[in-house]
């Protein structure tokens, strides 16, 4: 029988409020929303979310929802060294969203033969150990 993975350290520390001011991102993921921050001063929509605007250095940012669908630009497979909760191989893809953001995400719940450049993908919530969630995408059906 396979032994359970024993967590001495939190494998997802970025989700803990005491570790990261951007932890609400993961609360939104849990609600099924993909978000980033928008600068209230200049309107810049950086990805990933920031605490300071990379354009004008303002710290007045608000949470903004992102499109839930995108297109695979390119992808690769990782076959070792993944955190708990990820199967081998895990597919990582660069995904173009219709608002101009290109992000890196894992592709889940999809057949390897379906994963190709130009394929349409949709946002999903991936549940990982320690009651954590991570953003992911799957091939749109």
Q: Which residues here bind Zn ion, judged by CB under 5 A?
A: 39, 41-42, 44, 53, 55-56, 58
Residue 55 CB, shortest distance to Zn ion, in Å, is 4
CB proximity list for 132: less than 8 A, separation 6 or greater: 11, 12, 15, 26, 85
Residue 51 CB, shortest distance to Zn ion, in Å, is 12
CB proximity list for 91: less than 8 A, separation 6 or greater: 75, 76, 77, 78, 106, 107, 110, 112, 115
Q: What angle do CA 79, 94, 113 make, to 5 degrees?
A: 60
Cβ distance to Zn ion smaller for residue 39 or 107: 39
Residue 5 CB, shortest distance to Zn ion, in Å, is 41
Length of the chain measured in residues: 141
Cβ distance to Zn ion smaller for residue 56 or 88: 56
Cβ distance to Zn ion smaller for residue 44 or 71: 44
Cβ distance to Zn ion smaller for residue 61 or 124: 61
Residue 48 CB, shortest distance to Zn ion, in Å, is 15
Residue 44 CB, shortest distance to Zn ion, in Å, is 5
**Burial class of residue 128 in the structure, from the number of CB atoms within 10 Å of its CB (0-12 exposed, 13-18 middle, 19+ buried):** middle
Cβ distance to Zn ion smaller for residue 52 or 128: 52
Q: How many whole angstroms from its chain centre is CA 39?
A: 20
- Cβ atoms of 36 and 101 within 8 Å: the answer is yes
């Amino acid at each position: 029988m396979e032994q359970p993975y024993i967590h001495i350290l939190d494998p997802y520390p970025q989700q803990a409020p005491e570790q990261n001011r951007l932890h609400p991102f993961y609360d939104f993921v849990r609600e099924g929303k993909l978000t980033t921050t928008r600068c209230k001063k200049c309107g810049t929509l950086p990805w990933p979310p920031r605490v300071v605007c990379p354009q004008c250095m303002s710290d007045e940012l608000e949470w903004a929802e992102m499109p839930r669908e995108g297109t695979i630009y390119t992808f690769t497979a990782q076959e070792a060294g993944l955190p708990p909760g990820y199967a081998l191989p895990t597919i990582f893809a660069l995904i173009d969203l219709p608002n101009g953001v290109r992000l890196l995400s894992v592709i889940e719940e999809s057949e390897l033969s379906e994963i190709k450049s130009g394929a349409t993908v949709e946002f999903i919530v991936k549940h990982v150990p320690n009651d954590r969630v991570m953003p992911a995408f799957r091939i749109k059906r």
